[in-house]
């Protein structure tokens, strides 16, 4: 197995900050990279808040929180990641963007380093082909919020070597998380099942079967889900939900994965959920208010 001590994370969004958090907390050195300095600032303040939350809940000590922060470096240049033993790409869910980032990364990165992607739906094999090391490439799909969620999906591309696969699985264990191994099919396991449910909840709203609050209350109290599907869609980001549905629809060529027109409309409007302050709920006040 490859000895991993320093991990780079590309993309300081909601997944990237969580991934940096859990690696640093587990004792790895992490470098959080983004082209946007403001995004990195925001990520660091989210990490600080989430570590403080863990201290307040007695999950970790204040010293551990401080040491964890001290193990996360910041970077706005891909070349800063050259000496990492592994780099995890956690950029926006867009295949062309991810391929470009991966190709640029490989030009800078030492040749023995492993590369992982946190894609939630895109083919690992396709992303691997944009690198100079498909054998050293793997999917490690974290769930949001990363510090809380126990699962990481581990996905091998067609060219992923056994050594890379074993290293990826060992890393998940070192993070104290549990893995589910998935074959490289569109949206893997979790999103193959979760996203059609969320899409169906949006159809249920679109067709007037129920209001936002009736749908979410129904699923929360009727099936014991911690969040209703519309609340969860806002939490994940409606743009991400739409791109996953598109990957399912195109990748499996089955009309049952057709994205709901209302989901498309919300994304066109820029109503992307929590991160933009509006989605199926309005987040302007202290308490989210259902919009339909």
Closest-CA residue to 227 (of 172, 188, 274): 274
Q: What is d(CA 126, CA 129) in angstroms, rounded to the nearest whole number?
A: 5
Helix (H), strand (E) at residue 222: helix 212-223
> Which residue, judged by CB position, is nearest to ligand CAA in the bound state?
120
Interface residue with ligand CAA, options 3, 38, 57, 255 (CB under 6 A): 57
Restricting to residues 190-229, name those near ligand CAA by CB under 6 A: 190-191, 194, 226-227
Cα atoms in the 13 Å half-sphere on the side-chain side of 230: 31
- Closer to ligand CAA by CB, 16 or 147: give it: 147
Restricting to residues 6-35, name those near ligand CAA by CB under 6 A: none
The answer to whether 191 is a known catalytic residue is: yes
Q: What is d(CA 139, CA 232) in angstroms, rounded to the nearest whole number?
A: 23
The answer to whether 153 is a known catalytic residue is: yes
Q: Is 145 an interacting residue with respect to ligand CAA (CB under 6 A)? A: yes
Q: Give the distance from CA 58 to its chain's centroid.
A: 26
Which residues fall within 8 angstroms of residue 126, CB to CB, at 6 or more apart? 95, 99
Catalytic residue among 153, 182, 199, 243: 153
Q: Is 148 an interacting residue with respect to ligand CAA (CB under 6 A)? A: yes
Q: What is d(CA 177, CA 57) in angstroms, rounded to the nearest whole number?
A: 19
Interface residue with ligand CAA, options 12, 28, 43, 50 (CB under 6 A): 50
Interface residue with ligand CAA, options 11, 16, 139, 147 (CB under 6 A): 147
Q: Is 275 an interacting residue with respect to ligand CAA (CB under 6 A)? A: no
Count of C-beta atoms within a 10 Å radius of residue 127: 24
Catalytic residues: 120, 141, 153, 191
Residues lying near ligand CAA in the complex (CB under 6 A): 50, 53-54, 57, 59, 120, 143-145, 147-149, 190-191, 194, 226-227, 232, 236, 240
């Amino acid at each position: 197995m490859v000895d991993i001590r320093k991990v780079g994370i590309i993309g300081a969004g909601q997944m990237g900050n969580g991934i940096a958090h859990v690696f640093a907390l587990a004792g790895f050195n992490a470098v959080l990279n983004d082209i946007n300095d403001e995004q990195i600032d925001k990520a660091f303040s989210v990490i600080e808040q989430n570590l403080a939350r863990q201290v307040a809940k007695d999950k970790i000590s204040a010293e551990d929180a401080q040491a964890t922060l001290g193990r996360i470096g910041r970077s706005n240049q891909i070349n800063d990641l050259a000496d990492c033993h592994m780099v995890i790409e956690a950029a926006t869910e867009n295949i062309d963007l991810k391929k470009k980032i991966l190709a640029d990364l490989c030009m800078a990165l030492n040749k023995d380093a492993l590369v992982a992607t946190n894609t939630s739906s895109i083919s690992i094999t396709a992303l691997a082909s944009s690198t100079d090391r498909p054998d050293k490439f793997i999917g490690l799909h974290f769930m949001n919020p990363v510090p809380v969620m126990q699962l990481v999906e581990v996905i091998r591309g067609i060219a992923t070597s056994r050594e890379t696969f074993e290293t990826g699985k060992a890393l998940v264990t070192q993070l104290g998380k549990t893995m589910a191994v998935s074959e490289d099919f569109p949206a893997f396991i979790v999103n193959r099942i979760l996203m059609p449910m969320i899409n169906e909840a949006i159809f249920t709203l679109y067709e007037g079967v129920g209001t936002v609050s009736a749908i979410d209350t129904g699923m929360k109290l009727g099936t014991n889900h911690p969040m209703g599907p519309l609340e969860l869609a806002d939490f994940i980001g409606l743009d991400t939900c739409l791109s996953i549905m598109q990957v399912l629809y195109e990748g499996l060529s089955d009309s049952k994965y057709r994205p709901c027109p209302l989901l498309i409309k919300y994304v066109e409007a820029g109503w992307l959920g929590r991160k933009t302050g509006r989605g199926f709920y309005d987040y302007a006040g202290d308490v989210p208010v259902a919009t339909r």
